[in-house]
């Protein structure tokens, strides 16, 4: 999805909007932070990861759910945030490659994939939705993956990654319905960034065409910006704005 030359990055958000990126040391997460920091209309970007941030941002580790609630409490005085992006995720879990066959399934790996890809982001939404503005437009995107689409699954394989992203999608959709009751202008969406060069994708993409993290960040922000105020919350979109079936 492209933006006209010279157009503001997130024109649909008020000038001085504040942003929060979780997973800010990852390839796409750090590119999102860098891109937002170039935007003169942005009033501030907080970059959260598993390490404390340079601006005093608290560390968040999905293997330690208490860290999510503690971070939200610490961030509360800096709210509201008009943009929240969760750019965390893992494909290789516990040192294991994505499963090709049923025989590869392992309880601990499945549980860990769900913990990082679904439960962590859900607890993050639980804590951070209260830091969104009550009466202004707000955008909350979680990075999912097209392979988490049940309707689009034709090749099989990658059991724990696919299933944990499908669970993430359902958690996001359910949260969107609830959040709309108090924050009707908040738009919560699941996003597929496309194939992007990153530590996550490096072991599996080989020679495939991949976007740079900077391109992916610009694409994702353009998709978020273009989401209409009505009817878009609780939907699933690819990097080019096209809808993805659940
Ligand atoms: N790259 C692709 O081609 C592609 C395709 C489809 C979907 N996606 C999705 O896009 C998102 C970002 O991926 P990426 O390519 O940027 O990968 P990446 O560079 O490996 O970044 C992954 C991020 O997840 C964070 N993370 C991992 N385990 C965590 C945990 N236990 N608690 C908190 N944070 C944790 C990492 O945090 P630290 O920085 O603290 O290590 C890192 O910021 C993921 O959701 C991925 O599934 C990527």
Report pLDDT digits (tens) over 76-124.
Answer: 999 999 999 999 999 999 899 999 999 999 999 999 999 999 999 999 9
18 alpha carbon – ligand 1 mean position (Å)? 22
Please spell the DSSP secondary structure of the chain, one letter per residue: ----TT--TTTTSPTTEEEEEESTTSHHHHHHHHHHHT-TTEEEEEEE-SS--TTSPPP--TTSHHHHHHHHHHHGGG---SEEEE----SSBTTBPPPSSGGG--HHHHHHHHIIIIIHHHHHHHHHGGGS-SSS-EEEEEE--GGG-STT--S---HHHHHHHHHHHHHHHHHHHHHHHH-TTEEEEEEE--SB-STTTHHHHTT---B-HHHHHHHHHHHHHH--SSS-TTEEEETTS-B---
Question: Residue 205: its pLDDT value, please?
Answer: 87
pTM over 0.75: yes
* % residues pLDDT > 90 (the chain): 93
Q: What does the domain layout of the chain look like in residue ranges?
A: 17-238
Out of 23, 58, 70, 127, give the residue to mutate to test ligand 1, the one with the largest number of ligand atoms within 8 Å of its CB. Answer: 23
What is the homologous superfamily of the domain 17-238 according to CATH?
A: NAD(P)-binding Rossmann-like Domain (3.40.50.720)
Out of 111, 123, 200, 202, give the residue to mutate to test ligand 1, the one with the largest number of ligand atoms within 8 Å of its CB. Answer: 200
């Amino acid at each position: 999805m492209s933006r006209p030359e010279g157009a503001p990055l997130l024109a649909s958000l008020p000038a001085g909007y504040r942003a929060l990126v979780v997973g800010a040391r990852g390839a796409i997460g750090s590119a999102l932070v860098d891109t937002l920091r170039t935007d003169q209309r942005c009033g501030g970007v907080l970059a959260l990861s598993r390490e404390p941030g340079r601006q005093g941002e608290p560390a968040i580790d999905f293997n330690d759910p208490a860290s999510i609630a503690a971070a939200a409490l610490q961030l509360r005085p800096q709210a509201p945030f008009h943009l929240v992006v969760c750019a965390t995720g893992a494909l290789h879990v516990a040192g294991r490659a994505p499963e090709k066959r049923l025989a590869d399934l392992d309880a601990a790996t499945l549980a860990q994939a769900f913990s990082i890809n679904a439960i962590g982001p859900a607890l993050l939404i639980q804590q951070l939705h209260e830091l969104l503005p009550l009466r202004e437009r707000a955008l909350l995107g979680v990075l999912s993956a097209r392979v988490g689409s049940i309707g689009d699954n034709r090749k099989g394989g990658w059991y724990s990654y696919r299933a944990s992203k499908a669970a993430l999608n359902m958690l996001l959709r359910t949260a969107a319905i609830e959040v709309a009751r108090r924050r009707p202008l908040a738009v919560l969406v699941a996003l597929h960034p496309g194939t992007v060069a990153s530590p996550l994708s490096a072991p599996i993409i080989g020679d495939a065409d991949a976007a740079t993290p900077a391109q992916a960040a610009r694409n994702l922000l353009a998709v978020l910006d273009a989401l209409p105020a009505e009817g878009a919350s609780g939907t699933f979109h690819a990097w080019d704005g096209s809808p993805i079936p659940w």
